[in-house]
A = this chain, B = another copy of it.
Amino acid sequence: IYGVFYKFQPIDLIRKYFGEKIGLYFAWLGLYTEFLIPSSVVGVIVFFYGCITIESDIPSKEMCDQHNAFTMCPLCDKFCDYWNLSSACATARASHLFDNPATVFFSIFMALWATMFLEQWKRLQMRLSYFWDLTGLEEEEEHPRPEYETKLIQKKLKTKNTTENANEVRCDFPLMFELINVYICLQIMLTFSAVFGVMVYRITTAAALSFSTNETTRSNVRVTVTATAVIINLVVILILDEIYGAVAKWLTEIEVPKTEKSFEERLILKAFLLKFVNSYAPIFYVAFFKGRFVGRPGHYLYVFDGYRMEECAPGGCLMELCIQLSIIMLGKQLIQNNLFEIGIPKLKKLFRKLKDERTEPKEINTNQSKDPQQWDLDYSLEPFTGLTPEYMEMIIQFGFVTLFVASFPLAPLFALLNNIIEVRLDAKKFVTELRRPDTVRAKDIGIWYNILSGIGKLSVIINAFVISVTSDFIPRLMYQYAYSQNGTMHGFINHTLSYFNVSHLKAGTQPENSPFAQDVLFCRFKDYREPPWSQNPYEFSRQYWAVLSARLAFVILFQNLVMFLSVLVDWMIPDIPKDISEQIKKEKSVLVDFFLKEEHEKLKLIESFITRDKHRPQNGTKATWSLFHSGVLCF
């Protein structure tokens, strides 16, 4: 499989063998993968830009400079000591890789990329539906699902018993609908509580590990906690994903939608909502909530008794967001690809074989054919369960690529690598491991298009917030152009750190065994607050509000600029390729000409008969003429 990644997909053959619906899926997947190539190239360039400029980045240099010696406030009560900012040098340097001006450019690029992709897909869809003769395909009157009819009959019977008019019975269950919505909300709450649980785990474990007397344990607290927490997150996501798939199906079955199509749409919407929240909740938490509600030294916020809210690493939350994103994305892809798409089917196959072998001995006597027929072999394959899981996987990946791309420019690259394998894996699965599905005609990819365009729109505002709120981009700009003495970034770190008078620490929260507790008068913490010697100590300073204004102004500017550009792109690329629209026009005129000619010939034929029958009584001519006219009027 892996050897043919560079070849084009035989879309037309796929369509002939599997039908239009699966053909469209592979065409979509192909286009998406193709579009990932430029974006991953740009992403890699942006990443390398970060790597190259890391040496000239003044803030991270200042942070690593031992001479500056910023004494930071302790990270936990009692057991943590004051610490020097230069010890967080490594994370600061790493975070520059993702937190640089090129990222802003990249997220604008990716927003336009998403618009462009959707536009191109519309064109490709048009082209395919032309070549596959789907242009005239109308939604056919769909038959109600058998489950729906059963339900209807049951209800009719019930109402007959209660002697009501059976004609008025209609299959809408408002109460049921409410219940389903409540249930979905409950499931979403489950996701949130899982995220909260992981947060509590992180806080408590970090606290527990800092009590430890072992020196190496204590120095690696953050790494250990972050790594284990992300893995727990990943496992929770994977488990909940499977559960939510089943839940969505179950809920939709309860709803008893009328037709197969509406069943599919409702199922997709529910499953998407649940899986989307599930996959992104921990990432949203890290991006927008983590480290924002810590309070300040002397007035920390406590989750439970004695446990402080968690802070971001000194390099900024963006670094943590990046780690979270990359591990969840990669882990999800690797595990879902290898385990769920290859492993589980293989296991199931093995299991079925074993079961068959156990039951076979009895049948072998009655059935003499030793060479298994093709249908026997096909029967041993897995049944086809629809395209929904395949699309869902890709859409969630599309979300990873677009929603938080500002914090992880390598996401498109990883998505590309995954998809190159995924295309062939899916193809192999469809061809060799699943029973051949019934061919279904479809004009488009249906509700998935709406979901994709929704994600595209959401990504603009999320990226705007990631850049302005999570990253340090705006404070740096503000410092350089408003607060800096000489227009350079020198002194930025000092500017972002507030002072705290250690004598204001609450009793019992001072560091216990601090070797230099006597020398420390002020410790520093990352926030814009008034210094202890001002009139309103520890209140948010003017800088805080000025930076906040700048952040929000950036969000407005970014969002409206990108939306405007998207509308422009949407407007400039016509939905129907020019050659196709011309072809359609030409064919139409050819068809009209042809039909006129045909009708003419038919008429001539009839007339020739009539001429021959001239001497007989004529009763057919008038009818023929009316036929001819109605035939022409058809156009």
Known: A545-B545, A545-B549. Is A624-B609 also a contact (CB below 8 A)? no
The B-contacting residues of A in range 521-556, CB under 8 angstroms, are 540-542, 544-546, 548-549, 552-553, 555-556
Q: How far is the CB of A42 from chain B (nearest CB, A)?
A: 27
CB nearest neighbor in B for A591? B634
**Interface 9-residue window, one of A82-90, A210-218, A595-603:** A595-603
A627 at the interface (CB under 8 A from B): yes
Contact of A555 among B546, B556, B595, B631 (CB under 8 A): B556
One digit per residue, 1 when the CB lies within 8 angstroms of any chain B CB and 0 when it does not, for chain A 599-622 equals 001100110010011000000100
CB nearest neighbor in B for A543? B545
A66 at the interface (CB under 8 A from B): no
A519 at the interface (CB under 8 A from B): no
Nearest 8 CB-CB pairings of A with B:
A545-B545, A552-B552, A609-B609, A548-B549, A545-B546, A542-B542, A549-B549, A602-B627
Q: How far is the CB of A1 from chain B (nearest CB, A)?
A: 40
Contact of A606 among B559, B598, B606 (CB under 8 A): B606
DSSP majority for the A interface?
Answer: helix
One digit per residue, 1 when the CB lies within 8 angstroms of any chain B CB and 0 when it does not, for chain A 128-160 equals 000000000010010000000000000000000
A364 at the interface (CB under 8 A from B): no
CB nearest neighbor in B for A620? B605
Return chain B residues, CB-CB under 8 Å to A556. Answer: 552, 555-556, 559
CB nearest neighbor in B for A541? B542
Cα separation A630 to B595 with both chains bound (whole Å): 9
A239 at the interface (CB under 8 A from B): no
CB nearest neighbor in B for A628? B602
Return chain B residues, CB-CB under 8 Å to A605. Answer: 606, 620, 623-624
Return chain B residues, CB-CB under 8 Å to A591. Answer: 634
Return chain B residues, CB-CB under 8 Å to A541. Answer: 542
A485 at the interface (CB under 8 A from B): no
Known: A541-B542, A555-B556. Is A613-B609 also a contact (CB below 8 A)? yes
One digit per residue, 1 when the CB lies within 8 angstroms of any chain B CB and 0 when it does not, for chain A 102-136 equals 00000000000000000000000000000000000
Q: How far is the CB of A170 from chain B (nearest CB, A)?
A: 16
Cα separation A624 to B549 with both chains bound (whole Å): 80
A54 at the interface (CB under 8 A from B): no
Return chain B residues, CB-CB under 8 Å to A606. Answer: 602, 605-606, 609
Return chain B residues, CB-CB under 8 Å to A559. Answer: 556, 559
17 contacts between A and B (CB under 8 A): A141-B585, A461-B560, A544-B545, A545-B545, A545-B546, A549-B549, A549-B552, A552-B553, A552-B555, A559-B559, A598-B630, A601-B627, A605-B606, A605-B623, A605-B624, A631-B631, A634-B634
Cα separation A549 to B549 with both chains bound (whole Å): 4
A352 at the interface (CB under 8 A from B): no
Cα separation A544 to B553 with both chains bound (whole Å): 15
Q: How many residues of A contact B (CB 8 A)?
A: 37
Return chain B residues, CB-CB under 8 Å to A613. Answer: 609, 612
Return chain B residues, CB-CB under 8 Å to A623. Answer: 601, 605
A588 at the interface (CB under 8 A from B): yes
Q: How far is the CB of A341 from chain B (nearest CB, A)?
A: 33
Return chain B residues, CB-CB under 8 Å to A138. Answer: 585, 588
Contact of A540 among B540, B542, B595 (CB under 8 A): B542
Contact of A598 among B546, B553, B612, B627 (CB under 8 A): B627
Judge whether B548 and A634 touch: CB under 8 Å.
Answer: no
Cα separation A624 to B552 with both chains bound (whole Å): 75
Q: Given contacts A545-B545, A602-B627, could you give 12 more A-B pairs where the C-beta distance is less than 8 Å?
A: A141-B585, A540-B542, A544-B545, A549-B552, A552-B552, A552-B556, A555-B556, A591-B634, A598-B627, A605-B623, A605-B624, A609-B609
Judge whether B601 and A634 touch: CB under 8 Å.
Answer: no
Cα separation A595 to B623 with both chains bound (whole Å): 14
Contact of A545 among B542, B555, B620 (CB under 8 A): B542
Return chain B residues, CB-CB under 8 Å to A634. Answer: 591, 595, 634
Cα separation A555 to B464 with both chains bound (whole Å): 14
One digit per residue, 1 when the CB lies within 8 angstroms of any chain B CB and 0 when it does not, for chain A 35-78 equals 00000000000000000000000000000000000000000000
Cα separation A559 to B594 with both chains bound (whole Å): 55
Return chain B residues, CB-CB under 8 Å to A631. Answer: 598, 631
Return chain B residues, CB-CB under 8 Å to A560. Answer: 461
Cα separation A101 to B606 with both chains bound (whole Å): 79
Return chain B residues, CB-CB under 8 Å to A627. Answer: 598, 601-602
Cα separation A253 to B634 with both chains bound (whole Å): 40
Return chain B residues, CB-CB under 8 Å to A585. Answer: 138, 141
Q: How far is the CB of A391 from chain B (nearest CB, A)?
A: 20
Q: How far is the CB of A322 from chain B (nearest CB, A)?
A: 25
The B-contacting residues of A in range 572-596, CB under 8 angstroms, are 585, 588, 591, 594-595
CB nearest neighbor in B for A601? B627
Cα separation A630 to B540 with both chains bound (whole Å): 81
Cα separation A609 to B612 with both chains bound (whole Å): 10
Q: How far is the CB of A183 from chain B (nearest CB, A)?
A: 22
Cα separation A598 to B623 with both chains bound (whole Å): 10
Cα separation A598 to B631 with both chains bound (whole Å): 9
Cα separation A591 to B602 with both chains bound (whole Å): 21
Q: How far is the CB of A345 from chain B (nearest CB, A)?
A: 37
Q: How far is the CB of A522 from chain B (nearest CB, A)?
A: 20
Return chain B residues, CB-CB under 8 Å to A620. Answer: 605, 609
Return chain B residues, CB-CB under 8 Å to A594. Answer: 630
Cα separation A595 to B540 with both chains bound (whole Å): 79
Return chain B residues, CB-CB under 8 Å to A540. Answer: 542
CB nearest neighbor in B for A555? B556
Cα separation A607 to B190 with both chains bound (whole Å): 73
Q: How far is the CB of A271 from chain B (nearest CB, A)?
A: 19
